[in-house]
Amino acid sequence: MAFLQEKFLLLCLVTFSSLFLEVSSRGAVYRPPNVERLTDRFPRIPFTQGMSTLFGESNVHLKSNGSYADIILDKTSGSGLISKNRYYHGFFSASIKLPAGFTSGVVLAFYMSNADQFAHNHDEIDFELLGFAKRRQWVLQTNMYGNGSVKTGREEKVYLWFDPTQQFHQYTILWNKHHIVFLVDNIPIREVIYNQAVSSVYPSKPMSLYATIWDASEWATSGGKYPVNYKYAPFVASLADLEIVGCSIQKTNATNNGSICSKNATLSSSDPVDGEEYARLSKQQMAGLNWVRGKHMYYSYCKDRARYKVMPAECN
């Protein structure tokens, strides 16, 4: 009888574990918890409607009437897209499939910025996907700052729980007056809550949305230790499922900080994420956030004593 009970308990443990753990060639991969699908709440638009070529025109390939876009890095150039408008608050998302193979020094960035207008005190909200070097694994870095420069960044890094080269995955920025949330496949991986401690570095000016691929050998690989090897080029990143729903501002008047946001007739406010449901994370979303930070996060600026002799106020 004791043997049967032990066998039953072991079977239950294996079954329970399988709900949360998969094993692949990359080792143990934990399944994420279920969360609300925020990306299902907003319309998808063609890249031809929401974005224009920023640079590397010959390396930007639009497909299926603009529903898909490939941005390419090769020996001649990187490439990138920029939104046709600037936005003050909103919901910004795209599905991305990253280049496979040896990608050290290659960086795919999906981000918001106004550096073109505010050279010395610009705002940024960044997803930066860093090609692998020694670990043979893409790394996801997030960053956020306002009224500053890259020297004032607030970087965090996580290892992804999937292979981002095998299929499309959604990368989403939610930005409003309450918080900034970075989401991957609708799972929050980082939340920056607006409060007095962070107010001086909280993005406050309208920004454009960018998607770029570029050679970051000097920046992303320990000063060029593992540079881009163009023997493996071209490096092709594919984009789909574009969602840009924000407080739209004409670029020529972007300094008005939202005072001339165009209202969508279907929204009660010019800010589509101003409602109570976007003011804080739900219990499901908090569980997802804690899951990512507990199992996949490996760097936070708030723990970098070598970089900061005095920790930024929000770290306290």
Who contacts 149 (Cβ-Cβ below 8 Å, separation ≥6)?
A: 120, 121, 122
Q: Which helix (H) or strand (E) holds 50?
A: helix 47-50
Scored b (16 or more CB within 10 A) or e, 109-141 reads bbbbbbbeebeeebbbbbbbbbbbbeeeebbbb
By C-alpha distance, which of 110, 113, 105, 112 is closest to 69? 110
Who contacts 76 (Cβ-Cβ below 8 Å, separation ≥6)?
A: 58, 59
Catalytic choice (6, 36, 57, 128): 128
End-to-end Cα spacing for the chain: 55
Catalytic choice (6, 22, 124, 191): 124
Q: What is the Cα–Cα distance from 28 to 59, expressed in whole angstroms?
A: 36
Q: What is the Cα–Cα distance from 182 to 170, expressed in whole angstroms?
A: 11
Other CB atoms within a 10 A radius of the CB of residue 255 amount to 12
- Do the bridges between strand 208-215 and strand 106-113 make them parallel or antiparallel, or are there none, so unpaired? antiparallel
Q: Is 128 a catalytic residue?
A: yes
Kindly list the distances between the CA atom of residue 278 and the CA atoms of 36, 124, 147, 178, in Å, as whole numbers in the listed order: 12, 20, 24, 8
Q: Is 124 a catalytic residue?
A: yes
Kindly list the distances between the CA atom of residue 316 and the CA atoms of 197, 310, 312, 313, in Å, as whole numbers in the listed order: 9, 10, 7, 6
Task: Give catalytic residues, as residue numbers.
Answer: 124, 128
